[in-house]
């Protein structure tokens, strides 16, 4: 798998994980005070950060034999 595709998949995993955590909080605790568009925007931001970090970190981890 190439580096870009891997970073995109990690970004997707990060965004979906954030959305799952928001829904779990709403289900078990109550209203979070975050609207759906705001939650989706934050999820996109989380996905971009996770994807960017994984894109940058993968070669460094590969050089150390950790991938």
pLDDT tens-digit profile of 8-33?
A: 999 999 999 999 999 999 999 988 88
Tell me the pLDDT band of 36, cut-offs 50, 70 and 90. Answer: confident
Residue keyed to tokens 């799952």: 20
32 HSE (CA, 13 A, CB side): 14
**What span, in angstroms and rounded, lies between the C-alpha atoms of 4 and 47?**
14
Q: Give kind and range of the element (H or E) at residue 66.
A: none
55 HSE (CA, 13 A, CB side): 13
pLDDT at position 40, please? 93
- DSSP assignment, residue 33? S
């Amino acid at each position: 798998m190439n580096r870009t595709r891997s970073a995109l998949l990690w970004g997707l995993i990060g965004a979906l994980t954030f959305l799952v955590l928001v829904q779990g909080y709403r289900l078990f605790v109550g209203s979070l005070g975050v609207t759906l568009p705001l939650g989706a925007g934050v999820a996109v931001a989380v996905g971009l950060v996770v994807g960017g970090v994984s894109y940058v970190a993968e070669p460094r981890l590969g050089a150390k034999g950790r991938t």
